[in-house]
């Protein structure tokens, strides 16, 4: 688990800057640097006023990947000079939230608490934020790709302003290309033809991060500092999956990845992982399928597989590309070489079938929440095991969990 940490502005980071990915190196440092989102950043735009006023209130930035949510949050910190605490909604604990809130309270209103993927916070976690957000003790900036009107609790939603960011159009993306090729930390030695810029923008599906990733690949393979359409096509050849216009290619590759892991072929699994990542697919999306595979196809045969997959998922969120390829590769190799069992998915699916197709049988009296007449407390018996009924009487002959010789389960459960 990565602890809370204050992030300094890009202008304060000089060491090894050239080793950072292109989107990081040219991240906006002024409002004029932001490309697109004209409905929010016009002369009288709400986001323009927000940034110029020094991030005076809490907000949630909602939009698809690559629309500038994180860049805007970082710019708010740069312009306001406030402290900046980064948390990931996918992995943050209540304790970490409280630690961040306590830190912010020491200088009320002078800390931006940035929560990436805020929709992943549980209701309990969101409730922890309510008092401090309402009292203005901290400025919350959350980012989400999910509809906050659904994924954020009504209580938290009422205390923040929601701004919707839209996918970039091709004109905005071509402006971003020009910025990348003129920025001192971008690729200032390179030029690009109009047709190449048009092709690159058209194949980025409104995602600025993907555009810059593909541009950087083109820069790496050109030999004379001129990027023409052929260079761009070569950079994208056999890798640009174009989820927006060719979803079938994406799902076919993801399916091939899971089936290769299930079939215990690490070489094939690595190839399909490479196809996905080199195609500009969000590594977190790939990590989700790996996470499912860990339980669906390895499961009880190697209970550590799920831990490996969770760690790879979190690493992909924290790192982004290109570094995320390494922990994802580690997970794919481990899962491919692990013993296989589908007991977990078979067991729960049998139980769900009965739970949804049969009538809702009453909970046995002895294990009900109130009363529990006749309940035998297992810890009062030898080996904490006692015969009593836990299933409804109509289902007492049912057997949902049946282990095989590959499953590693505690003997206590099998006896």
Q: Are residues 34 and 9 in the same domain?
A: yes
Residue 295: which residues within 8 A CB-CB, separation 6 or more? 305, 306, 344, 345
Last residue of a domain, one of 115, 136, 164: 164
Going by DSSP bridges, is the β-strand pair 161-164/191-192 parallel, antiparallel, or unpaired?
unpaired
Q: Read off the CATH number of the domain in which 331 is found.
A: 1.20.272.10
In a domain, 348, yes or no: no
349 found inside a domain: no
| Tens-digit pLDDT profile for residues 356-376 | 888 889 888 888 887 667 888
The two most distant CA atoms of the chain are separated, in Å, by 83
Mean pLDDT of 228-242: 73
Peptide bond preceding 359 in cis form (omega within 30 of 0): no
**Range of 328's domain?**
247-337
- Percent of the chain at pLDDT > 70 equals 91
- Per-residue confidence band for 159, with pLDDT thresholds at 50, 70 and 90: very high
Whether residue 101 sits in one domain with residue 68: yes
Q: What is the CATH number of the domain that holds 12?
A: 3.40.50.300
- Judge if 80 and 152 occupy the same domain: yes
pTM of the shown model: 0.57
Total domain count, the chain = 4
One domain for residues 232 and 94 = no
Question: Would you say residue 342 lies in a domain?
Answer: no
Same domain, 258 and 380: no
- Residues 153 and 114 occupy one common structural domain: yes
Residue 64 lies in a domain: yes
Is 201 contained in some domain? yes
- Mark which of 164, 198, 219 sits at the end of a domain: 164
Q: Can you tell me the mean pLDDT for 187-203? A: 92
Q: In this structure, is residue 146 part of a structural domain?
A: yes
Same domain as 103, residue 60 = yes
Looking up residue 212, the CATH number of its domain turns out to be 1.10.8.60
Q: Does residue 185 share a domain with residue 42?
A: no
Both 198 and 299 in a single domain?
no
Residue 294 Cα distances to 168, 274, 330, angstroms: 35, 19, 13
pLDDT at residue 414 is higher than 70: no
Q: What's the CA gap between 384 and 353, in Å, rounded? A: 30
- Asked whether residue 225 falls in the same domain as residue 327, the answer is no
CB 163 within 8 A of CB 73: no
The dihedral of CA 345, 351, 352, 354: what is its sign? Answer: positive
In a domain? residue 352:
no
Phi, psi of 99 (to 5 degrees): -65, -40
Residue pointed to by tokens 């690490």: 266
Of 133, 164, 195, the domain-final residue = 164
- Residues 116 and 48 both lie in one domain: yes
- Residue 227 included in any domain: yes
The 10s digit of each residue's pLDDT in 245-287 is 444 567 788 889 999 999 999 999 999 999 888 877 888 889 9
Confidence of residue 15 (pLDDT cuts 50, 70, 90): very low
Specify whether the CB–CB gap between 38 and 165 falls below 8 A.
no
């Amino acid at each position: 688990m990565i602890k809370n940490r204050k992030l300094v502005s890009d202008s304060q980071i000089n060491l090894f800057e050239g080793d950072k990915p292109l989107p990081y190196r040219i991240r906006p440092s002024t409002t004029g640097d932001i490309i697109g989102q004209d409905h929010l950043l016009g002369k009288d735009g709400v986001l323009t006023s927000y940034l110029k006023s020094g991030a005076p209130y809490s907000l949630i930035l909602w939009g698809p990947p690559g629309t500038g949510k994180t860049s805007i949050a970082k710019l708010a910190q740069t312009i306001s000079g406030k402290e900046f605490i980064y948390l990931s909604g996918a992995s943050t604990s209540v304790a970490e939230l409280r630690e961040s809130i306590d830190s912010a309270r020491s200088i009320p209103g002078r800390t931006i608490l940035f929560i990436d993927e805020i929709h992943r916070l549980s209701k309990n976690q969101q409730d922890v934020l309510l008092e401090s957000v309402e009292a203005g003790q901290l400025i919350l900036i959350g980012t989400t790709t999910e509809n906050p009107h659904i994924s954020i609790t009504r209580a938290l939603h009422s205390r923040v302003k929601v701004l919707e960011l839209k996918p970039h159009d091709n004109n905005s993306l071509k402006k971003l290309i020009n910025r990348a090729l003129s920025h001192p930390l971008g690729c200032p030695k390179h030029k690009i033809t109009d047709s190449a810029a048009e092709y690159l923008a058209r194949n980025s599906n409104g995602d600025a991060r993907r555009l810059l990733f593909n541009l950087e690949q083109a820069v790496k393979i050109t030999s004379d500092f001129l990027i023409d359409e052929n260079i761009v096509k070569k950079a994208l050849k056999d890798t640009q999956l174009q989820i927006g216009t060719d979803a079938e290619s994406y799902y076919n590759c993801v399916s091939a990845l899971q089936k290769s892991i299930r079939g215990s072929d690490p070489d094939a699994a690595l190839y399909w992982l490479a196809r996905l990542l080199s195609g500009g697919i969000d590594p977190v999306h790939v990590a989700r399928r790996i996470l499912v595979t860990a339980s669906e196809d390895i499961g009880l045969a190697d209970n550590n597989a799920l831990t490996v997959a969770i760690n790879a998922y979190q690493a992909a969120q924290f790192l982004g590309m290109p570094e995320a390829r390494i922990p994802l590769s580690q997970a794919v190799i481990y899962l491919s070489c692990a013993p296989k069992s589908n007991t977990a998915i078979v067991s729960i699916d049998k139980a769900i079938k009965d739970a949804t197709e049969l009538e809702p049988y009453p909970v046995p009296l002895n294990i009900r929440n109130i009363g529990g007449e006749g309940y035998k407390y297992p810890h009062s018996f030898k080996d904490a095991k006692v015969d009593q009924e836990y299933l409804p009487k109509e289902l007492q002959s049912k057997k949902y969990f049946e282990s095989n010789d590959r499953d590693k389960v505690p003997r206590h459960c099998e006896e």
